Amino acid sequence: MDTERTYGEVATRARESFQDVERIPGARKQDSILTADNVRREFGGIIAVDVEHFEVQKGSITALIGPNGAGKTTFFNLLTGFDQPNSGQWNFNGKSMNGVASHRTAALGMVRTFQLTKSLTKLSVIENMRLGATDQKGEKWWNGLFAAVWKGQEAEITERADELLARFKMDHMRDEYAGSLSGGQRKLLEMARALMTNPTLVMLDEPMAGVNPALKQSLNQHIRGLRDDGMTVLFVEHDMDMVHDVSDWVIVMAEGRIIAEGTPDDIAKNSAVIDAYLGARQGQSLLEGE
């Protein structure tokens, strides 16, 4: 599709790092930042997620795709501690994340956004941003009364927030209530706010949902920018054009399992994936006949 595009140095390196990776579900990678094994989540009798092995290559943009109900968001919730699996273990940066509370994952450098945007509507844009910074002295109640303790840090945070807002071209909205932003702007704000935590892994749950085409292009740019700044990006998406355009590696889920992995070009040709999306074998399980 977009084969004429030229890639920057980091992007090329990220793409090349996948050269020797096998194109099979649960493929091993040389340098994985996030690894999951046998993660299983059941809701009553329904198995929402059953992932045998899953790795995310450091410094790359990995897309997690799949038809509705494939378990992508549930898997996201499990990895970030927002939901607990029935069994399985997973590591982030070599540290086991089993039983780690959701709020601790951010401190470890793993931050996520949500499918339904969670901008804090009654706070201003800049306050939303400031909230994202971690290890704030003024967030301890005993320091709250003594502005002298946190004023300096607050100024640094504000400076960083303003830089990020400028980068996301939101600086003109700085003092507006987040509730007055459009859906696309809220997505941007949520992403910018997540970056305030100084993450090493950014997990975006459907960053393109409800965003107009013009803004999609710039969102793509921003996501590439994250990788170019040395972060790893894992995102869930339905928009195949966007996936093809932005990702270095694609992992496909269906019925709770990983059914395929590969570069965007591999995936576009993969018959299992096409079947999963288009339902070629209607009434049959996607996992059979592979």
Partner 1 sequence: MDWNLIFENTLKGIIGINAVYFAIAALGLNVQFGYTGLLNFGQAGFMACGAYGLGMTAHYFDISFWWGIPIGILFSVLLGLLMGIPTLRLRADYLAIVTIASAEIIRLVVRSVKFKTYFGGSDGINGFSDSFRSLGNDFGIQEADQYGFWPFKFTGRELWTLIIGWLLVALFGFVVYKLMKSPWGRVLKAIREDEDAVKSLGKNVYSYKMQSLILGGVIGTVSGMIFALDRGSVQPDNYSRDLTFYILTALVLGGVAKVSGSIVGSMMFWGLFTFMDNFLRQVAKDPVSIGNFTIMKSTQVGQLNFILIGITLILLMVFRPQGVFGNRQEMAFDGH
Per DSSP, 18 falls in state T
* Cα Rg, the chain, nearest whole Å: 20
d(CA 120, CA 267): 37
Applying CB under 8 A, the span of 37-45, 61-69, 123-131, 257-265 interacting with partner 1 comes to 123-131
Q: Report the nearest approach of partner 1 to the CB of residue 135 (Å).
A: 9
**Closest CA relative to residue 27, chosen from 54, 66, 62, 65:** 54
Q: Is residue 177 a contact residue for partner 1 (CB under 8 A)?
A: yes
User: Between residues 5 and 103, which has the closer beta carbon with respect to partner 1?
Assistant: 103
User: Between residues 138 and 210, which has the closer beta carbon with respect to partner 1?
Assistant: 138
Count how many Cα atoms sit within 13 Å of the Cα of residue 239 in the half-sphere of its side chain: 19
Q: Is residue 187 a contact residue for partner 1 (CB under 8 A)?
A: no
Q: What interhelical angle do 147-167 and 125-132 show, nearest 10? A: 110
Which one of 38, 93, 115, 134 is in contact with partner 1 (CB under 8 A)? 134
Positions 137 through 176 that interact with partner 1 (CB under 8 A): 137-141, 143-145, 147, 150, 154
Positions 64 through 93 that interact with partner 1 (CB under 8 A): 80, 82
Positions 188 through 207 that interact with partner 1 (CB under 8 A): 190, 193-194, 196-197
User: Beta partners for 91?
Assistant: 35, 96
| Angle, CA of 26, 30 and 33, to the nearest 5° | 75
Which one of 102, 212, 221, 284 is in contact with partner 1 (CB under 8 A)? 102
d(CA 268, CA 77): 27
d(CA 212, CA 197): 27
Q: Report the nearest approach of partner 1 to the CB of residue 208 (Å).
A: 19
Query: Which residues of the chain form contacts with partner 1 (CB under 8 A)?
Result: 80, 82, 101-107, 111-114, 118-123, 127, 130-132, 134, 136-141, 143-145, 147, 150, 154, 177, 179-180, 190, 193-194, 196-197
